[in-house]
Amino acid sequence: LQNSVQSPKLEHLGDMHWVYGFITGVNYSRDSSYGDGVDLAGIEAFLDSYCKKNPLSNLADASIALVRELHNR
């Protein structure tokens, strides 16, 4: 069990669930629907690109940038 808890796949899955929850929270607080029409692969690609360009940033920073990008669509 210890190894499966520390699995990179599980960590990635947890991170993505956090991002989806973050977007949901922003949508709820703003009565908006950021992310409609964007598939999960597109969200992951944005986050991957952001993190490669900003290696000192964290997942929260990347999620904020994602919401800003979705807002500008």
Query: What is the Cβ-side half-sphere exposure of residue 69, based on CA atoms within 13 angstroms?
Result: 15
The pTM of this model reads 0.82
Lowest model confidence (mean pLDDT) among 6-15, 17-26, 38-47: 6-15
Distance CA 32, CA 46 (A): 20
Say yes or no to pLDDT of 1 above 50: no
